[in-house]
Amino acid sequence: MTKVSREPLIFEISSAGKTAFKLPALDVPEKKDLLAGVPLRTDIENFPEVSEPEIARHFTRLSQTNYCVDIGIYPLGSCTMKYNPKINEKIASLPGLTQTHPLAPEELVQGNLELMKMLEKLLLEITGLEAITLQPAAGAHGELTGMMLIRAYHQAQGNPRKYVLIPDSAHGTNPSSAHICGYTVKEIKSNERGTVSVEDLTRLMDEDVAALMLTNPNTLGVFESDICQIADIVHSRGGFLYMDGANLNALAGITRPGDLKVDVMHLNLHKTFSTPHGGGGPGAGPVAVKKILEPFLPVPVIEEKNGVYHLNYNRPQSIGRVRSFYGQFLVAVKALAYILNLGPAGLKEMAETAVLNSNYLRKNLEGLYELKYDTPTLHECVFSDKYQKDYGVTNLDISKRLLDYGLHPPTMSFPLIVHGALMIEPTETESRRDLDLFIEAMKAIAREAKENPELLRTAPHITYVRRLDEVLAARNPVLRWEK
């Protein structure tokens, strides 16, 4: 391992009098009154003075410290951080797509509308549902939209109901989405297999419950094998089964949520369908629904008649807009390119390979890290730091030490039902060689925890930035450089 030298701040490179360029003297009369009355800043205190090569080299060196999916594995459980095919980026950068103005009239964007309608049809085929909106900007936004649709339906029946049921293993955004829609959340306990307790669901499900929000496969990577029975219980009391589609990467091309009696679900285009994920966006979280919820979809809805596409705003029962214009258009372009490139067989192979890769990691690490639930898993698995805690080592220490091996850590401390969780999702894009690199690093760290736990507790040792005091940083952030 090579220790990374610290890159100085741009202020530390600065020397008085340096410039990156020099403009020639004015050869026209100077006009001093053009900005009359405008408050102008005449000087910037401590502004760095550097040459052009220093600027270029400084920011190039900084860029080389970034870890990204083009460099190596990103095993973030429940985040599906997979490699993004460059052809998708190329297609989405075509001028006819990037230079379309969002306020252009419908007759000038027929190709764009046709593209989105094509994506809608493909997503409905993949999910087995009957109507869809592409507007939501991300997964949590899709959850919120789905719950708004459910509430609108119940209100139209004269009773919005009071409660939403959510498993204890759910994503934290699930209860947030329900609360924003005015619902009180009731938690359903997981059973010994890590799946929803049918007994607990039966006890809690009544006519005051609007919906059950279910992630399938759940955040443990376990398929909810009782899903059809669960759907029947929810439907018997007039509720809806909402499916969090964050983990669709394990099911696409193999089974369809609509065939499992799911009523509404969001999809993460920026996860399952390859578009960039991380760094805050861009994302897209379309929501697909059964026919009964179609009247409530956000406006506008893309419609086609005689080969002409238009946006329909005249929908009296709609929940209204949930996004300016029509969502993240270029994300939709990339997702469509991905689906058309793979086709039905390719999507199935995608899911099968994701499951295979995850189980390869699991089998190689079992026994070294605790697996609280030994139920068969699909695209991800959740270990814990229980064995390492005997030596005073936590999941944070393990994750920090992975940085010294040049690898990105997995998701930590989630789901909450696994204390000290290490949630690993390799996705289908990782080769066996890259999986083996991660496995060997995790094996080495398990040995180090026994033989030299202090090495882990003080990690990372060779990274650009050492371990930070995160509590102090949160309480006393330094936002301005001072000499």
Question: Could you read off the pLDDT of 395-441 as tens digits, one per residue?
Answer: 999 999 999 999 999 999 999 999 999 999 999 999 999 999 999 99
Q: Highest mean pLDDT range out of 23-37, 323-337, 441-455?
A: 441-455
pLDDT of 237-285, one tens digit each?
999 999 999 999 999 999 999 999 999 999 999 899 987 665 556 889 9
pLDDT band at 392 (very low <50, low <70, confident <90, very high): very high
Question: Can you tell me the distance from the alpha carbon of 179 to that of 290, in angstroms, rounded to the nearest whole number?
Answer: 23
Choosing from 341, 368, 399, the residue where a domain stops is 341
Q: Is residue 99 part of a domain?
A: yes
- The structure tokens listed for 139 are 């997964």
The reported pLDDT for the residue numbered 68 is 85
At 174 the three-state DSSP class reads helix
pLDDT of 22-66, one tens digit each?
888 888 988 877 888 888 887 778 889 999 999 999 999 988 888
Shared domain check, 182 and 319: yes
Question: Can you tell me the distance from the alpha carbon of 217 to that of 246, in angstroms, rounded to the nearest whole number?
Answer: 9
The reported pLDDT for the residue numbered 482 is 64
Shared domain check, 420 and 316: no
Shared domain check, 239 and 195: yes
pLDDT band at 178 (very low <50, low <70, confident <90, very high): very high
The reported pLDDT for the residue numbered 260 is 97
Question: Can you tell me the distance from the alpha carbon of 133 to that of 328, in angstroms, rounded to the nearest whole number?
Answer: 12
The answer to whether residues 206 and 235 touch, using CB atoms and an 8 Å cutoff, is no
pLDDT of 78-94, one tens digit each?
889 988 899 998 999 99
Choosing from 341, 372, 404, the residue where a domain stops is 341
- The structure tokens listed for 44 are 């910037």
Q: Is residue 369 part of a domain?
A: yes
Please say if the pLDDT value at position 219 is more than 90.
Answer: yes
Shared domain check, 454 and 387: yes
Question: Can you tell me the distance from the alpha carbon of 435 to that of 357, in angstroms, rounded to the nearest whole number?
Answer: 8
Q: Is residue 6 part of a domain?
A: no
What is the average pLDDT value for the chain, to the nearest integer? 93
Tally of structural domains, the chain: 2
Shared domain check, 200 and 102: yes
Shared domain check, 384 and 337: no
Query: For the chain, what percent of residues have pLDDT higher than 70?
Result: 97
Choosing from 284, 314, 341, the residue where a domain stops is 341
Q: Is residue 429 part of a domain?
A: yes
Please say if the pLDDT value at position 205 is more than 60.
Answer: yes
The reported pLDDT for the residue numbered 481 is 61
Shared domain check, 218 and 94: yes
Shared domain check, 370 and 229: no
Shared domain check, 334 and 364: no
Q: Is residue 8 part of a domain?
A: no
The reported pLDDT for the residue numbered 276 is 67
Compute the average pLDDT of residues 284-305.
97
This model's pTM is above 0.85: yes
Q: Which domain holds residue 394?
A: 345-472
pLDDT band at 187 (very low <50, low <70, confident <90, very high): very high
Instruction: Tell me, rounded to whole angstroms, the distance of Cα 461 from its chain centroid.
Output: 29
Shared domain check, 370 and 310: no
Sheet with 131-133: list strands edge to edge: 131-133, 287-289, 264-267, 240-245, 209-215, 163-167, 184-188
Shared domain check, 201 and 113: yes
Q: Taking Cα atoms as reference points, which of 129, 126, 162 lies closest to residue 253? A: 126
